[in-house]
Structure 1
Amino acid sequence: MIPLRNIVVFPQMIVPLFIGRSPSLKALEDTMAKERMVVFASQKKEEVEAPSPKDISRIGTLSEIVQMLALPDGTTKVLVEGICRVRIEDFVQETPYFRVNISRIEEPEEISVEAEALVRTIIKGFEKYVKLNRRIPSETLMSIVNVDNPGRLADLIASYLSLKVEEKQTILEAVTVEKRLKELSEILEKEIEVLEVEKKLRGKVRKQIEKVQKEYYLKEKLRAIQEELGEEEEYAQPELAEYRKKIEGAKLPPEVKEKATKELERLSQMPSMVAEATVIRTYLDWLIELPWKKKTKSKLDISEVEKILNQDHYGLEKVKERILEYFAVLQLTGKMGGTILCLVGPPGVGKTSVARSIARAMGRKFTRVSLGGIRDEAEVRGHRRTYVGSLPGRIIQSIHKVGVNNPVFLMDEVDKMGMDFRGDPSAALLEVLDPEMNKEFSDHYL
């Protein structure tokens, strides 16, 4: 007896097998010297290299060795013909190969009405299966038409189907013809459903591809015609013309304008359906919409600052005095750089409202970003554009939202930041908080 992996031999079928394990090769040599008959049975688990009797199915196929050929890689190719189903009663010998006692499983000659009905259903189902499955040639249908025996018909069709070993073994173990036909009918119906879904999906994908190719072809043709006619970009590519107008009207710094123009040229050379085109559009939108040169006019009136602080807050004399000192120095020096005030205190004492009052006193817009719980350095500096769904950091997002480049910017809950394997966001804040560096703050996304 030779155990098989990944294959089931059915009666009346001629099957090529590749034998490589030494016990199986020894069994082949001995049987070729005698009666050329051997029992093939499937392993329950294919990963078992040296199966024991409990790893082997008890129903197998008695087969005749038709041809044997030794291959250069050490394996042996054999052509076997299944004769009949057998039941393995017991194992007489396990080394160097298996020897077993078997009993032949006889099949009834009479055909019941139920079996006849199942045969007709299975033949119709198999015809449908062959039409849906391109891997099975249509000539296969001719081979089953002339089969009169229902049991043999079930075995023949089962050998053609792309089934798992467990499913084929289930059909082999179905001793009665009716049970075998029922098992095959259920499996065949399930396989047809799967093939129909596959066909439907293939059709959808093909239509989508055809639609994209058609759009690309028509757009390229339209572009070529418009170039020949000398039409302006405004009519040929309205989206690109719109972006070009926005870039010209955004009053971008020279280096930013050069980068935006370069990205626009890249966008003009790629199809609109490409994923990279969406990334470039988002990038251009951020570049254009940022307030590069838009600012609010600041006012510095010490008495007005003191009046607003007293209106908005009772007490806090030391805080107000420090803020007035700060404004006095600004008024004397005339420099309005990105200087920093640090407000420290427990929750609810008025840190955020003091910052709002400062913005109101200066006549500037106010924006705040909460840094509590941030663990990723990219939240401050932004994600690089190579990542899907990347965006600028919180700093640039807040400036974009407020709409001017000189707001009073409050960074709240600085002490609540964390750190992990993605970096330390507090280290990234050094560039933001240093007055000598923050005017040249660099965001990874931009």
Structure 2
Amino acid sequence: MADKDPASVQTDESTGQPEKSAQELVLVSEVLPDRIPVMPVYPRPVFPHFMLPLTFSGEKFLEIIREAIEKHNGLLGLVMISELNEQNYLASGLHTVGTVARIYRCSQVSEESVQIVVQGLQRFERVRVAVREEPVQLWEVRYHYDDRAVSVEELKPHILAIMASVKELLSVNPLLQEQLKALLQQVSYERPHMLVDLVSSVLTAEPAKLQDLLETFDMRKRCEKLLLLLKQEIEVFQMQDKIHKQIGEKVGRQQKEYFLREQLKAIKKELGLEKDDKTQEIEKFEERLKNLDVPRDVLDVIREEIDKLKMIDTHSPEYHVSRNYLNELTLLPWGVYSKDNININRARKILNSDHYGLDDVKERILEFISTIIKKGSVSGSIICLQGPAGRGQNLGRPLNCQCPRT
């Protein structure tokens, strides 16, 4: 059984007997045992006075919860993990200070999962591990009750500073507004210990800093540490808000410029001063066709592709494929011919002057020219050349042939 707080005992002057006020009366059901089962929690500690739901999965966790409900009056020690063991969660290293909580509700979520609703009661410190029977761990603990030697008046400056910081935090972090307002409505300045713990429970500080706050038993020091964390929290959210505003302004400016450019395009188009990209592309292809003598079958293909391009949205991948295809078709020199010079001696001289070595390649080209002389045509003859771009232009010189680049 836990020791009584000596600061809570007063003596009646007339009787000499201890005098107890209504706030100092302790029910038998609220007396905390010296031994309690322990459950590791991660990634943040649980503070006294705070009610929250916890979900656990696995037969080992269910056994610990059954142990707490059936043998320990629903009391469970919640201790934050100090060194996480990913292979065996229950074998993780634990801090020595935690919070004893009472299980108020237990609901089966699935066959191996359960959700419990708990409320933190008091801080405790481990004295020793009394029982270690996998998976249940019983700790012998010493409770650190709220220090009532410090009066409300002494803590009033700290509490007022905390409340001012909370209000400032609410103004920069709207996500915490409902949660903090609901918590603050449940407590008053007359219960500073509860107020400090409830504010601590909703902070987004690093787990190590929250654990340090839980392990601070001196009330004045706890208030000072909480004020420091609140200040850091406010600065973080102010910086976050500043970054969001900067990004919002940048995005808004870019969107504004985009809409203005689109409006300018639409106005110029209506006035006939400017045409859209698709129209300009199609007119460019049409202009090229005017100067070319394109075979009828090829022209039909080009016209069909232009009609297709008119129907495709400019943001579609198919639009770029069709545009590139039309660009290549209209760049070919349809109807433009050059007179071939099929003099083998001239060709050999030009090949030797333009290319060093490559005798086998030169002989193959000369054989190709000889075939042209013999047949009188080049139909069906194709030479594939491998090498840097532009080699085809040089190899066209022996025949006095203009080779278009595609």
TM-score, with structure 2 as normaliser: 0.64
Task: Tell me if structure 2 keeps the 8 A contact 1:158–1:168.
Answer: yes
1:158 aligns with 2:197: no
Task: Tell me if structure 2 keeps the 8 A contact 1:15–1:81.
Answer: yes
1:335 aligns with 2:381: no
Structure 1 residues 55, 137: closer, same or farther in 2, change over 3 A? closer
Counterpart-to-counterpart distance in 2, 1:162 and 1:315: 76
Structure 1 residues 197, 167: closer, same or farther in 2, change over 3 A? farther
1:292 to 312, 332, 345: 332
**Counterpart position of 1:243:** 281
Structure 1 residues 192, 47: closer, same or farther in 2, change over 3 A? farther
Task: Tell me if structure 2 keeps the 8 A contact 1:130–1:137.
Answer: no
Matched letter for residue 144 of structure 2: I
2:110 to 70, 73, 85: 73
**Counterpart position of 1:181:** 227
Task: Tell me if structure 2 keeps the 8 A contact 1:87–1:103.
Answer: yes
Between 240-249 and 280-289, the greater mean CA deviation after superposition: 280-289
Task: Tell me if structure 2 keeps the 8 A contact 1:62–1:82.
Answer: yes
- Structure-to-structure mapping, 1:16-415, within 5 angstroms: 16-32=53-69, 34-44=72-82, 45=84, 47=86, 49-52=88-91, 54-65=92-103, 67-71=104-108, 73-74=110-111, 75-95=113-133, 97-105=136-144, 109=150, 119=162, 122-131=165-174, 133=175, 136=178, 139-140=181-182, 143=185, 146-147=188-189, 152-162=194-204, 165=207, 168-175=210-217, 176-177=221-222, 178-198=224-244, 200-201=246-247, 238-251=276-289, 253=298, 254-267=300-313, 274=315, 276=316, 280-281=319-320, 283-285=322-324, 287-290=326-329, 291-294=331-334, 297-302=338-343, 304-305=346-347, 308-309=350-351, 323-337=365-379, 338-340=381-383, 358-365=395-402, 399-400=405-406
- State the Cα deviation string for residues 176-225 of structure 1 (Å, max 9, x = none): 41234324433453344335434654665577678878988x799989x9
- State the Cα deviation string for residues 275-308 of structure 1 (Å, max 9, x = none): x36x624751453255233455142141543554
**Counterpart position of 1:429:** none
Shift of 1:88: 1.8
Matched letter for residue 165 of structure 2: I
SS at the partner of 2:106?
strand
Structure 1 residues 87, 260: closer, same or farther in 2, change over 3 A? farther
Task: Tell me if structure 2 keeps the 8 A contact 1:247–1:257.
Answer: no
Shift of 1:31: 4.2
Counterpart-to-counterpart distance in 1, 2:393 and 2:382: 16
Counterpart-to-counterpart distance in 1, 2:393 and 2:110: 82
Structure 1 residues 259, 341: closer, same or farther in 2, change over 3 A? closer
Identity, in percent, stands at 18
Q: Which has the larger radius of gyration?
A: 2
- State the Cα deviation string for residues 336-383 of structure 1 (Å, max 9, x = none): 344338899xxxxxx99997664223233469xxxxxxxxxxxxxxxx
Task: Tell me if structure 2 keeps the 8 A contact 1:118–1:185.
Answer: no
CA RMSD of superposed structures (Å): 4.8
SS at the partner of 1:81?
strand
Matched letter for residue 300 of structure 1: N
**Counterpart position of 1:436:** none
| Residue ranges of structure 1 left out of the alignment (5+ in a row) | 345-350, 368-398, 401-446
Shift of 1:245: 1.5
Counterpart-to-counterpart distance in 1, 2:390 and 2:286: 39
- State the Cα deviation string for residues 154-185 of structure 1 (Å, max 9, x = none): 43233224566555435434554123432443
| Residue ranges of structure 2 left out of the alignment (5+ in a row) | 1-37
Task: Tell me if structure 2 keeps the 8 A contact 1:305–1:358.
Answer: no
Shift of 1:61: 0.6
Bigger strand fraction: 2
Task: Tell me if structure 2 keeps the 8 A contact 1:246–1:288.
Answer: no
Counterpart-to-counterpart distance in 1, 2:65 and 2:74: 8
Structure 1 residues 64, 335: closer, same or farther in 2, change over 3 A? same
Structure 1 residues 81, 238: closer, same or farther in 2, change over 3 A? closer
